[in-house]
Structures are given as C-alpha cells and as structure tokens.
Structure 1
Amino acid sequence: MTSFSSAALIVNAKSRKGQALFKQACQALDAVDFPVDAHAVEDPDQLEATIERALAKKPELVILGGGDGTISGLVDHLVGKGVTLGVLPLGTANSFCRTLGIPLDIPGAVAVIRTGQKRRIDLGMIGDDYFANAATLGIAPQIAETVPHNLKKYLGRLGYLSWAAIQFLKFRPFWLTVDAGAGPQHLKVVEVRIANGRFHGGEEMMDEAEIDSGDIVIECVRGHFKRRLVANWAATVLKLKARREDIVVFRGKSLRIDTKPRLPISIDGEVLAHTPATVKIAAAAIDVMVPATPSA
C-alpha cells in the first residue's frame, strides 16, 4: 500500500457523471488518511488553470475525475512533476481505467487510491502532446467534431452509437502512409488506431498494445469499402478471431503518418491534431495508482 501526505482532486463536472458524482467522490475520499484539496470544474476551459493552481501547492497525488479525454487533456501537466496520478472513472468508455484494471465505480476507484500500488507507465505522444490511452483516424474524429455535448453527457454510449450511425453515412475510406523508419508504406484503410493500451471506446481492441511496453502501436483496418469497418467492429465486440482479419500493425518508438485527404486525429475522444503527424512513445513517463492485485 502506498501512502501520501497530500492530494489534489480535480473533477471535470461537465463529463457525463461529473456533477452528480463529485460529492460522492469527496465523501468516498473522506476515508483516506491524507488531506485532499478538491475542485469541481464546471467550465472545461478552466481545467488546465485549475490543475496548475493545485500543483502549485505541491501535492504528492493528483486525482483526476472524468473521462479519457479529461485524463489525456491534463496528463501533460503531470509529466516531470514528481506526482502520482489517481483516476476516478467518470466518463463514457473509461478505457484508460479498463486497461489499468481500475474499478469503474467511485468506491472501487477510491479503494485503489487507498490500498493500491504505484505503476510506472508510458504515455503516447502526437507531436508534443501527451495522451494517456488512444488516438484515432477515421469516423471517430468525425463523430467527436460533430456530436452535441448534451447527447454525450446524458446518453453516454447510446448517444455515441446513435450519432455514429448518422455520421457513418457520410464517411469514406482513405489512404494512409506510415513510415516506421524503413521507408513509407501505403494502405487504403477504414480506420487507424494509435494505442498505448488495450482498450479503445470501452472495448478490448488492441491485443499488441501494453501500457508499459516502451512502444506505441498503430493498428490499421484495411479496406476499400466501409463495410469492412462494420465487420471489424462486430468481430471485436463478439471477441471473434475474425477481428484480426484485414488488420496491419506497426509499432515502434516514433512513426510518421500521413493521409489523403488530410484528416483530423481524435485523442481520447477530442480532436486535437491533424495529419501529417509524428506518433511517439514517452516511455515510463508517469506513476499511476493501480490495484495491488490487477484485475485486468
């Protein structure tokens, strides 16, 4: 069990469960034996300023409450600060927590903070931007750019799936170029997943990605028709061996990617970059609290 002298809690109160669960999180954290400086941030534009103010007080532990986008958006501020990350899963998919085996309920996640252990993990990078879990090219950025915020907040996965069906009608396969150092390779693809962990969108998709492997993994779903993407999604949800069909995997420390046409890149659900881009791994970048006996 790891002990701390102080902690800061920053909750994205605009995430799907943020406002409703902030009070519950504070109550659950009453059980820890160190003071917690708690912040509920209702305006997402104030999240970065809030974490900077919290870090100025030199906490040993920073607990972030929100979805994968919140974690990735704030993790840059923790790199090199000598703090440990704790996570409360208040988002839709909570893929980062799933990868780490952190329970998806507030009491369970707080129990990990109280009785768990530190684990040194990698972070992905696109350009100079760190991310915790995954980035995507294809229909996901199209959804992220257009989905109404209230749909995301109140309907969660159902909202994403409904909006995805609408956007799917507009989607087209695209050309991808990947250079892993041995020369460029060109593929016609329907989706590209850039992963630091096994889970993406709440589903276990990336068999070859590990959060402390020292490599970033790019998984490409080949296809000239978008029905290949539907088949791959279905096989993934049903855990069929067919999910590996039409998959091409690249891995390494640094890879260059480009597309025709130029496309947005969503990083844990938020569109934050565009092609062309350099994808890298930041090996052993931060410590995070995980279960003492991992469940995943």
Structure 2
Amino acid sequence: DLGKAVDHILSGQSRKIDYGMAGRHFFLGSVGLGLIPNLAELIGHNTPRFGIGWSRKASLAAASVKVQQTSITIDEFKFDIAPLTININLLSYSLGLSLTPTSINNDGKAEIVFDIGQAKANLSGFIRKIFKKKYIYTDEIRMYRGQKIIISPTAERKLYLDGEIVKLKETTLKVETFPSKIRVYQKNAE
C-alpha cells in the first residue's frame, strides 16, 4: 500500500548503514570466498538447527574448497596467504551466522575474516563456535578492519554476495566501503 509506505518513511523509523562495492557488485551485508559460498550451496534452504549440524556442513564445505595462494591488501597492508575462507562483512551476519558480532554498521569500515591457511584452522569448529556465539579470533582465524580490500587472484572463483552466489570473471576483486550511508527503513513488530 503506497499510503502506508509513505507514512512509514515520514515516521522517521530508520537507521543509516554502510554499503560497499565488490568489483561491480553493490552489497549491504557481506561477501565471501571459499568456505562461505560452498557452505551456502551445501545448505541451500535447509539451515541446520544446532551447532553440530553447522559443524558437519562446514566440514564438508571446507573439504570442497580449492585452496590457492591469495594476495590480500587491506588499506595499505599487503600479505599473501592460502586460505580456506575469506569473508568481508559490513553487517555482523553472513549466511545467518554472526561472524563479526562487533561490527559497527555505520562506521565506513568492513571486517575481514580469514584463516591463515596451511591447514591450521579447524573451520568446522570455528563455525560451530560462531553459531553458539562463543568464538574469539586467534592466530589461526583472524579479523581485521579496513575500507579498501583487494584480493587476487579471483577469476573463476565463487563469491557469496549478500546471499547470492556469483561466479567471478575478474582476476582481482576490489572491495570498498564508502563514507556516505544508506538509509534503511525498519518496520516495528506489531
């Protein structure tokens, strides 16, 4: 109903949140390479109810990730790793999991979560603990914050983009957040 929509907009019940671009793709929530797109495909619409279910699915998804040497630049800091997962969040949730519970949704920065590679991270345990809200980031799985993130190579890799899976054609993925915000109108529960 147009009248209700206009009334809702005029009510001022809104908040401002960050937005970003991942290559040529606009996003509001999160983007991910490796584990998260594979996990999203594996789960489909059958989200596990308990931590053990998430752990099993994460183990299967991690086993299907093709590990490759990856170069990451976060603002001016550059390093090379061979991760099973890279996830960039503007909001705390990705795939229904609170990967970055400390996310500030309007600070102009993204949280970057990745494992250091070398098969040191237990990703099924990581996902189970994230589901239970009991994970603390460590040396094996790290979290950084930044405005400009460059990841390469990315050609032919799957990208989780706010719930959709996109096949990347570009060799380099540039992710950027912006100082301007998007106003999101929220409906109060009735």
Q: 1:118 aligns with which of 5, 14, 17?
A: 14
| AA in 2 matched with 1:237 | F
Report the alpha carbon displacement of residue 288 of structure 1 after superposing the two structures with TM: 1.0
| Bigger helix fraction | 1
| AA in 2 matched with 1:157 | T
Report the alpha carbon displacement of residue 122 of structure 1 after superposing the two structures with TM: 1.1
Report the alpha carbon displacement of residue 212 of structure 1 after superposing the two structures with TM: 0.4
Encode CA deviations 1:69-123: one digit per residue, 9 max, x unaligned. xxxxxxxxxxxxxxx6xxxxxxxxxxxxxxxxxxxxxxxxxxxxx9771111111
Distance 1:287 1:219, change over 3 A: same
Runs of at least 5 residues in structure 1 that lack an aligned partner in the other structure: 1-5, 8-33, 37-58, 62-83, 85-113
Report the alpha carbon displacement of residue 143 of structure 1 after superposing the two structures with TM: 4.7
Distance in 1 of aligned mates of 2:68 and 2:125: 17
After TM superposition, list the pairs within 5 Å mapping 1:38-49 onto structure 2: none
Q: 2:86 aligns with which of 189, 192, 207?
A: 192
- Aligned partner of 1:142 in structure 2 is 38
Runs of at least 5 residues in structure 2 that lack an aligned partner in the other structure: none
After TM superposition, list the pairs within 5 Å mapping 1:1-296 onto structure 2: 7=2, 34-35=3-4, 117-144=13-40, 152-153=44-45, 156-158=46-48, 166-225=60-119, 228-241=122-135, 243-245=136-138, 246-259=140-153, 263-272=157-166, 274=168, 275-290=171-186
Q: TM-score, normalised by structure 2?
A: 0.74
Encode CA deviations 1:2-59: one digit per residue, 9 max, x unaligned. xxxx74xxxxxxxxxxxxxxxxxxxxxxxxxx256xxxxxxxxxxxxxxxxxxxxxx7
Contact map agreement 1:173 1:224 (CA 8 A) in 2: no
Contact map agreement 1:138 1:192 (CA 8 A) in 2: yes
Q: TM-score, normalised by structure 1?
A: 0.51
| Percent sequence identity over aligned pairs | 18
Contact map agreement 2:83 2:114 (CA 8 A) in 1: yes
SS in 1 for 2:122: helix
Distance in 2 of aligned mates of 1:158 and 1:237: 10
- Aligned partner of 1:65 in structure 2 is none
SS in 2 for 1:135: strand
SS in 2 for 1:174: coil
Number of residue equivalences: 181
Report the alpha carbon displacement of residue 250 of structure 1 after superposing the two structures with TM: 3.1
Distance 1:214 1:232, change over 3 A: same
Report the alpha carbon displacement of residue 289 of structure 1 after superposing the two structures with TM: 2.1
**RMSD, aligned α-carbons:** 3.4
- Aligned partner of 1:50 in structure 2 is none
Report the alpha carbon displacement of residue 181 of structure 1 after superposing the two structures with TM: 3.8
Report the alpha carbon displacement of residue 133 of structure 1 after superposing the two structures with TM: 0.5
Distance in 1 of aligned mates of 2:124 and 2:114: 14
Distance 1:165 1:253, change over 3 A: closer
